[in-house]
A = this chain, B = another copy of it.
Amino acid sequence: MRTDIVSSGVGELSYEIREIVKVAKRAENSGLEIVWENIGDPIAKGEKLPHWIKEIVAETAMEDSSYGYCPTKGLLETREFLADLNNSRNGANISSEDILFFNGLGDAITNIYGLLRKECRVIGPKPAYSTHSSAEGLHANCHPVMYELNKDDNWNPDIEDLTNKIKYNPSIAGILLINPGNPTGAVYSKKVLSNIVDIANEYDLFILTDEIYSNIVYNGKKHNYLSEVIDDVSGISLKGISKDLPWPGSRCGWAEFYNVEKDPIFHKYVENICKFKMIEVCSTTLPQKVIPRVMSDNRYGKYLEERKKHYEYASNYVYDRMKKIEGVTVNKTNGAFYNTLVLEKEYLNEDQSLKIEDNGLKNYIETISKGIPNDKRFVYYLLGSTGICTVPLTSFCSEHNGLRFTLLERNMEIMNNTFEIMAEKIEEYILSN
């Protein structure tokens, strides 16, 4: 290459949720059976789409029009359906023009941050969901800016920390809210949302909210939509069908833009996002076609209820078991399908370990465990010892140690067993030194 073509910054990207797979594959080669608790793919964990949904998809696949391009913003009838859905709640009204489909929220996120003026920042929660924090950092050629979620207060935002970081850093132009939280499973009250809106209002910011899990809320809680409390503040809500149907492989998500006309700068920014999508022509058509049929089917609600019962069970099981362990801080999750345990720092050190049967694997785990955070060390040993594959909390930009795992396993025996083994191994690891 006569000239360097490598852009600086990108090389720094990491996405531990996927990178841990390399270690797990190594363990699998040593004969271990891997229990994939690292990634939130319900399908991979045995979740079955109801037959009727698959039938709708299959039927739609027999229509020729399902194969063509759709308009740049997405199919009109689907956008109208989704606008109506939003408008059926109180709060900010939108039209079909305020919705833009993406090829999944990954696509949405990289474009939304990527098209921000380089000098301005969006502050997001910590523990962070890596796609957001990586995209923010890449955009700014810097570490992402983040506010604390409080492990001792059900992972609610630390409003004081958030306010101070905004007040004292004029580069911040927007606030990211992931609700329900990933990786925390927290579901925010209307009061928390209103606090955020008040801050955005006071400092003249926009709000970006990731509501991909808005239909996965349980334990008697209810999801409060940003649009219900946003008032006149500029806002973007990200939604999709990855988690609900669940159809993560569809890469079908969308952005809802609130109060676009009320701020000319926000308006211009949103227009640019749409223009950029236009040069990619449009997003994927088939899943968009399916959305109104599935979501307006009266079997859909019942189906979601049934699934949420499962997550509720898992949520409580984990909570009840883990809270007994000294050194562990656990919050009961009320939404999404992960739990994030905190392993308190004073209980971890560099000399702890778990027994690993296979010698080659043992050596490998020992080697890669040098000079890494203590929770990553535990995650490696848990993986090498049991095949359970989780993600260390520090890889979510958190200063806390801990781990994230899913609540997805549909085989109850396997699930209970996995949680039990995890609990025992945490206890054993802590006591090992």
By a beta-carbon cutoff of 8 Å, the part of chain A in contact with chain B is 1-8, 10-11, 13-15, 18, 39, 41-44, 47-49, 54-55, 57-59, 61-62, 64-70, 72, 103-104, 106-107, 109-110, 114-120, 130-131, 134-135, 140-143, 145, 164-165, 167-174, 203-206, 234, 245-251, 263, 265-266, 268-269, 271-272, 275-276, 278-286
Closest Cβ–Cβ distance, residue A122 to chain B (whole Å): 9
Contact: B103 with A251, CB < 8 Å? yes
Say whether, besides A5-B174, A6-B117, A283 and B70 are in contact (CB < 8 Å): no
Docked pose: A115 CA to B138 CA in angstroms: 11
Contact: B281 with A106, CB < 8 Å? yes
Contact: A245 with B67, CB < 8 Å? yes
A3 contacts across to B, CB distance below 8 A:
117, 119-120, 170-173
Contact: A281 with B169, CB < 8 Å? no
Contact: A18 with B72, CB < 8 Å? yes
Say whether, besides A2-B173, A167-B168, A43 and B65 are in contact (CB < 8 Å): yes
Say whether, besides A10-B275, A263-B1, A279-B15, A251 and B170 are in contact (CB < 8 Å): no
Contact: A249 with B286, CB < 8 Å? yes
User: Of all chain B residues, which has the CB nearest A12?
Assistant: B275
User: Of all chain B residues, which has the CB nearest A290?
Assistant: B61
Contact: B169 with A171, CB < 8 Å? yes
A10 contacts across to B, CB distance below 8 A:
115, 272, 275-276
Contact: A43 with B61, CB < 8 Å? no
User: Of all chain B residues, which has the CB nearest A116?
Assistant: B5
A to B CB contacts below 8 Å, 13 in the list: A3-B117, A4-B120, A5-B117, A7-B118, A10-B275, A11-B275, A13-B279, A67-B246, A67-B249, A130-B279, A131-B279, A131-B280, A134-B279
Docked pose: A104 CA to B169 CA in angstroms: 32
A247 contacts across to B, CB distance below 8 A:
67
Say whether, besides A120-B4, A279-B13, A284-B251, A68 and B54 are in contact (CB < 8 Å): no
Contact: A283 with B251, CB < 8 Å? yes
A142 contacts across to B, CB distance below 8 A:
119, 171
Say whether, besides A141-B119, A169-B169, A280 and B110 are in contact (CB < 8 Å): yes
Contact: B170 with A286, CB < 8 Å? no
